[in-house]
Amino acid sequence: MAVCKLCHTNVKYSGNTTNLRSHLQRHHPDKVMLTQELKKLRPRHDPKQTVLDSDGGCSHKFPSTSPRSQKITESIAYFICQDLRPYSVVENIGFRRMVNAMEPRYPVLSRQHLTKVCVPRLYAQTKAHVKASLGKAERVALTCDGWTSRTTEAYVTITAYFINEEWELVTYVLQTRDMPESHTGHNLAEHLRKALAEWEITEKDPVIVTDNASNMTIAAEEAAFTLHVKCYAHTLNLAAQRALKITAVARLLGRVRRIVNFFRRSTTANHMLKKKPRLLQLPEHKLMTDVVTRWNSAHDMLERFLEQQPAICAALLSSEVRKTEKDLCTLTESDVTTAEEVVSALKPMKEATQYMSKEKTPTLSVIAPLQDTLINGLKPIEGESAVIKEMKAAMSGDLQKRYIDLRATLHACSAVLKLSLWSVVEEGTGKCNGSADDEGMASEEETVDDGVRFKEGESSQGQHPPPRNPKPSCPLAALLGGERYGGGAQPKTNTQENQAKEQMTRYKEADLLEVKEDPLVWWKEHQYEYPLLSHLAKRYLCIPGTSVSSERVFSTAGDIITAQRSALLPDHVDQIIFLNKNLKRM
């Protein structure tokens, strides 16, 4: 039965409106007539006009193939990958409400459509762009590293480096693929060969940079890379770890660690410690603890402890703290002195690690001068304590046995960077010693001669435009003496071998740049004055000195493979990391 809203009479209802319409016509004809008149006055429905539902939704949605709908869908996929949001966010009530408020006509996509269509499509588009960029590179350098997720799945990340036409160092994370099989040198080599083929860089004379593990060395040899460089940051870590394992240093770190952990564990002690720095006019910094896998965290822990030592002593002497921990004492005066010396001894190693971890600066070319600088700085000094001498001997001994087989190559790389050859640890302390520089230039001359013979028969103007007059407004024109290359002077010789020697002579006579100046900027400004050398510069300056870029993916992956998303498929992990790292470069 249905109830009439006008007279409240029960009307029989059997699934259609015939009885209801008859009731209105018999008992309420005036209402029926009024309704018909209103329909005549109502304008015809415009298909382009949007009709809203009572809940604020839209009864007329965009087709999923419309340009507007596709644009929004692409933006959502970009948001998911760039901000590392879970796929399920598109099904959250708050997200749907936000999208509906901005565009009621948009049909919000499902999680399945996002994972099976949208993200793979964005991945394919970005991958095509990356492959096109790699195809233009003269040489590609790779870094490779392995890691394990919280779900105990093993992954291998490969990152590519090259210098583009604008002399910018470009970095792309190529892939993060699962590797369930054992990470032997043979299996890793096969993994690398497949990556080279997939990204079409086999013919780019690829170089690889890895950690010091033996399986990586075997993999690089079997995959037939022309050059294998071991990560210098990892090398510094191994040297520093030797120093930290010295008995006196390990005991000191244990004492400091115990005090730091006490303040991190006790809310009362932590509250007291927070109040002391302001009273003592100290920086309001929290104490830091060390991590086994990061040697520089031990340096940071000691440095922060020394900075906050007056506040720590004051907090430990307070009655509130003494009630809970009577036996805990701060460092003795002798311990403090040793801690200060340890921090001072480790500081150059930390600064070198920080410099080598940069992504936008050529770093392989500074390994040779940096290695010499560190080893010279680790020589014992009269008056130093026995602990510091032992630390320096341990670090120096470890560094000296590294890169022996790559010494000539590293000096050749440094020669390309001659205009910016500096002591990295202390800015402005002087230039590198002449012997290393001369050896590098000799290696570079041999490389140039080999390159000339390889290009026998080609015109010197084939790949690079001929030398042209530097622009008057060039900021670095005075560096080489503008008059030397101005006036459209013709080359003195015609053969490429003579041109190479002439370019090398002028290059060796050029002034050194300041530490803060970028060598890539210099080469961009002077590439036409040194066409043969600039070709070699691109081949060397693209090689990183560390595999830090691949290691940094671990933290990104940790944000992706959380407890809520531990079931994420390996293919999805690869796609999200690839897009997260590379979308910003498109």
pLDDT in tens, 252-282: 999 999 999 999 988 989 999 999 999 999 9
Measuring CA to CA, how many Å separate 273 from each of 270, 280, 329, 331, 419? 5, 11, 15, 16, 50
Q: Does residue 168 form part of some domain? A: no
Distance separating alpha carbons of residues 187 and 222, to the nearest angstrom: 10
Q: pLDDT for 468-513, tens place per residue?
A: 444 433 332 332 233 333 333 344 445 778 888 898 889 888 887 7
Q: Which domain holds residue 524?
A: 405-541
Quick one: pLDDT at residue 64? 79
Distance separating alpha carbons of residues 55 and 70, to the nearest angstrom: 25
Q: Does residue 363 form part of some domain? A: no
pLDDT of 434 higher than 80: no
Average pLDDT over residues 521-533: 91
Q: Is residue 11 a contact partner of residue 1, using CB atoms and an 8 Å limit? A: yes
Distance separating alpha carbons of residues 100 and 95, to the nearest angstrom: 9
Quick one: pLDDT at residue 514? 74
Q: Does residue 158 form part of some domain? A: no
Q: pLDDT for 350-386, tens place per residue?
A: 999 888 887 777 788 888 888 998 999 999 999 899 9
Q: Does residue 37 form part of some domain? A: yes
Quick one: pLDDT at residue 439? 46
Location of structure tokens 């193939």: 65
| Residue 23 identity (one-letter amino acid) | H
* Long-range interactions of 264-273: CB distance < 8 A, separation 24+: 264/289, 266/321, 266/324, 266/325, 268/320, 268/321, 268/324, 269/315, 269/316, 269/320, 269/321, 269/324, 269/325, 272/315, 272/318, 272/320, 272/321, 273/308, 273/311, 273/312, 273/315
Query: Residue 230 pairs with which residues in a beta bridge?
Result: 210
Q: Does residue 20 form part of some domain? A: yes
Bridge-based pairing state of the strands 207-210 and 169-178:
unpaired
pTM: 0.75
Quick one: pLDDT at residue 208? 96
Q: Does residue 509 form part of some domain? A: yes
| Overall number of domains in the chain | 2
Quick one: pLDDT at residue 423? 36
Q: Does residue 352 form part of some domain? A: no
Q: Does residue 34 form part of some domain? A: yes
Which has more confidence, 538 or 440? 538
- Positive or negative, the CA dihedral 404, 409, 415, 417 is negative
